[in-house]
Structure 1
Amino acid sequence: MPKHGKKFRSAVEGKDLTQRVSVEESVKLAVEASFATFDETVDVAINLGVDPKYSDQMVRGAVILPNGLGKDVRVAAFCKGDKEAEAKEAGADVVGGDDLIEKIQGGWLEFDKAVATPDMMAQVGKIGRVLGPRGLMPNAKIGTVTFDIGKAVKELKAGKVEFKVDKAGVLHAPIGKVSFGADKLCENLKALLETVNRIKPSSSKGTYMLSLAVATTMGPGFKVDVSTIRKFLEA
C-alpha cells in the first residue's frame, strides 16, 4: 500500500476522512487541506445511480460556472467564411477549416477545447480518432457544434465545463482553484449540481446522487452527506 508524503499527512492530521459532512463543509475542508506550492484545482466526484451501459442512462452535459475555472482555456474553432471572423472576435485562439484539420493530422494539438459549425463536422470527423480519446471532439449535445460559434467560444473561454459519467457511473468535474475561496467554489459547485440534477435520466430509478466527494489536485478527499445536497441547492 503506497505511503503518503509528509505534507499530505500533515494536511489530514486531526481530520476524519471517513466522516460525511455538509456540502459547504466539504469544500471548506478541501481548501484548508491544500498544501501544494501551486494553485490547486478543486475537483468533485459524484457517484450517480445510473448504469451508463444503457444509452438512456448516460449523463452528459455542460455547465457555465459563475466564477469560471481560473485558467486560460485555449479554444480551437473549426469554421469557414464569415464564421472565422466571428470566432476570432469572440476570442478563439486558433481558427480554420481544412487547413486546421491538416495541421492536427500532422500532430499539432495545442488547444484545450474545440468548437465547430455544423457544416464543418463532416471534415472534422476525419480527425475524430485523434480528438475523441482526448475529449476534444465538438458535440452538439454540449453546445460545441453550433452556427452561433461566437457564443460557444465565449462560453468556453469563460469557464464552461463539460462532464460525462464514466463506465462506473462516476462523474468527475473541476469547480475552480483553491485561490477562489470556499464561497466562490460553492457557487460553482451549486451550478454544477443543479445542471446534473436537471438532466437526470427519466429511466434512472431510486437514489440519483449516491455519494459525492470534494478534493484538491494533491489533497485528500472529503465525503459529503448526500442528505445535505437538497438544502444546499435550495439555499
Structure 2
Amino acid sequence: MAKKADLLEKAAELKLEVSDKNTIAEIEAAIAAVDAPVEVEEKATAKAGKRSEKALAEAEAKAEKEARKESGDTSAQSDEAENRKKGPKPVVRPLIERRGKNYQKVAKQVEANKVYALADALALAAKTNPSKFDASVEVHVRLGVDPRQADQNVRATVSLPNGTGKKIRVAVFAPEGDHAAAKKAGADVVGDESFIKQLEKEDINFDILIATPQYMPKLGKYARLLGPRGLMPNPKSGTVATDVAKAVTESKAGKVEYRVDKQAIVHLSIGKVSFGAAKLLENARAFFDSLQAQKPTSLKGSYVKSTNISTTQGPGIKVENVIS
C-alpha cells in the first residue's frame, strides 16, 4: 500500500482527480498522461493557394480579429500592427500635380472661379493647349434634363459652317442605283451585298454609315456591332435618307450628331485649334443655336446648368450661358 500512497501523493501534487478508490494502474496512467511530452502538429503548407504560409497567416489574423469582435474588444491596433497588415497609406497628390509640366504651366492662365464670355473662352482654349499636335476644341454642356425621360433625351444634328477639321469616312448602304451618286458626292465605302459581307467580317473602316429606308431592316442583324460604336443609321441624325448623295455631302461638309449622355451632358468637338478664334466662334454659335432649338417643352427648370470649353488635353474653362 506504500506504493499507492506515494502515487496518491504525487497525483495530489499534480492536482489530478484521483482517490484511494482508484487502482494503482489507473493512478499510474493518470500520472503518465501528464508527464508525457505534448506533440504539436505542424501545419502542412504549400507554396501557393489557401495552404500557403501567407494565406494561413491571413486566416489566423482574420480569426483573431473576429474573436476580438465577439469578445467586445474594439480597441484600435497599434500603428505598427496596422502598417504591418495593410502597409502605409499612400500619399495622394492634388490632381493638377499629377498632370504634366506643360499642363500645369498653361493651367495657370485660367482663373478657376471666373466665368468667361464665349469668344474669350475660345481664344483662351487655343492658348492653353498643352499638346504639340493640332488638338480639337470641345464644348461640354451640362443640361437640366432627365435623359431617362423619352421627351427629354436630347439628340440632334448640326452643320458646322467651318467643319470639324477631321477627315470623315462615310459609308453608304443602298441599292445599286444609288451607288454612282453616292460615290460622286464623296462616299468612301459604297455597297449592298458586298457591304453586308464586310459587316460579317466586322470590318469597320468608316466613321458614318448612311442607309436608305428600305435597306434598314437588313442592318437589324448587325445592331450589336454598329450600335455600341454609334454607327447605326437613325432618321434623327439624318443617316437614314432617300437622297444618299445629299446625306453624304452634308456629312462631309461638317454635319455632326450630338446627344445627351447618362449624366445629362452634351459633348461636341467644334473644330481644331488651328481654325482660329473667329471660325471656332462661328461653329460654337451654330451648335448653341441648334441646342437651343432642342429644349424640351416639358422641362420646368433650367435648361442649361453649366458650360465648359477645353482642348482635348487642356484645362476646362467656365463659360457664361448663351442659352436661356
Paired with 1:52 and 1:15, the residues of 2 have a C-alpha distance of: 31
Q: Do 1:34 and 1:219's aligned partners in 2 also have CA atoms closer than 8 Å?
A: yes
Q: Do 1:101 and 1:127's aligned partners in 2 also have CA atoms closer than 8 Å?
A: no
Tell me: higher relative CO, structure 1 or 2? Use CA pairs within 8 A at least 6 residues apart. 1
Offset from partner CA, 1:108-135 (integer Å, 9 cap, x none) = 0111111110011001121111111001
Q: Do 1:140 and 1:146's aligned partners in 2 also have CA atoms closer than 8 Å?
A: yes
Q: Which residue number corresponds to residue 255 of structure 2?
A: 160
Paired with 2:282 and 2:200, the residues of 1 have a C-alpha distance of: 40
Runs of 4+ in 1 over 2 A off after TM superposition: none
1:25 aligned onto 2:120: yes
Q: Do 2:157 and 2:258's aligned partners in 1 also have CA atoms closer than 8 Å?
A: yes
Paired with 1:100 and 1:190, the residues of 2 have a C-alpha distance of: 37
Paired with 2:205 and 2:319, the residues of 1 have a C-alpha distance of: 36
Q: 1:11 aligns with which of 72, 83, 106?
A: 106
Q: Which residue number corresponds to residue 198 of structure 2?
A: 103
1:55 aligned onto 2:55: no
User: Which residue identity lines up with residue 59 of structure 1 in the other structure?
Assistant: V
Paired with 1:195 and 1:45, the residues of 2 have a C-alpha distance of: 14
Q: 2:275 aligns with which of 180, 187, 197?
A: 180
User: Which residue identity lines up with residue 84 of structure 1 in the other structure?
Assistant: H
Q: 2:133 aligns with which of 38, 45, 63?
A: 38
Q: Whose Rg is larger?
A: 2
Offset from partner CA, 1:21-66 (integer Å, 9 cap, x none) = 1111111111110121111001110011100101011100000000
Structure (1 or 2) with the greater strand fraction:
1
1:146 aligned onto 2:221: no
Percent identical among aligned pairs is: 45
User: Which residue identity lines up with residue 52 of structure 1 in the other structure?
Assistant: P
Paired with 1:230 and 1:224, the residues of 2 have a C-alpha distance of: 11
Alignment of 1:81-230 (within 5 A): 81-226=176-321, 229=322
Offset from partner CA, 1:80-105 (integer Å, 9 cap, x none) = 12111111111000001122122122
For this pair of structures, how many residues does the alignment match? Answer: 229
Paired with 2:227 and 2:295, the residues of 1 have a C-alpha distance of: 24
Q: Do 1:49 and 1:205's aligned partners in 2 also have CA atoms closer than 8 Å?
A: no
User: Which residue identity lines up with residue 135 of structure 1 in the other structure?
Assistant: G
State the shift of 1:209 in Å. Answer: 1.1
User: Which residue identity lines up with residue 99 of structure 1 in the other structure?
Assistant: S
Q: Secondary structure at the match of 2:165?
A: coil
Paired with 2:113 and 2:312, the residues of 1 have a C-alpha distance of: 19
Q: Secondary structure at the match of 2:171?
A: strand
Q: Secondary structure at the match of 1:50?
A: coil
Q: Do 2:176 and 2:192's aligned partners in 1 also have CA atoms closer than 8 Å?
A: no
Alpha carbon RMSD of aligned pairs, Å?
Answer: 1.3
Unmatched runs of 5 consecutive residues or more in structure 2:
1-92
Paired with 2:314 and 2:212, the residues of 1 have a C-alpha distance of: 40
Q: Do 1:49 and 1:209's aligned partners in 2 also have CA atoms closer than 8 Å?
A: yes
TM-score w.r.t. the length of structure 1 is 0.94
Paired with 1:159 and 1:196, the residues of 2 have a C-alpha distance of: 16
Paired with 2:171 and 2:302, the residues of 1 have a C-alpha distance of: 39
Q: Which residue number corresponds to residue 69 of structure 1?
A: 164
Q: Secondary structure at the match of 1:136?
A: coil
Paired with 2:112 and 2:178, the residues of 1 have a C-alpha distance of: 50
Paired with 1:37 and 1:150, the residues of 2 have a C-alpha distance of: 37
Q: Secondary structure at the match of 2:278?
A: helix
State the shift of 1:230 in Å. Answer: 5.2
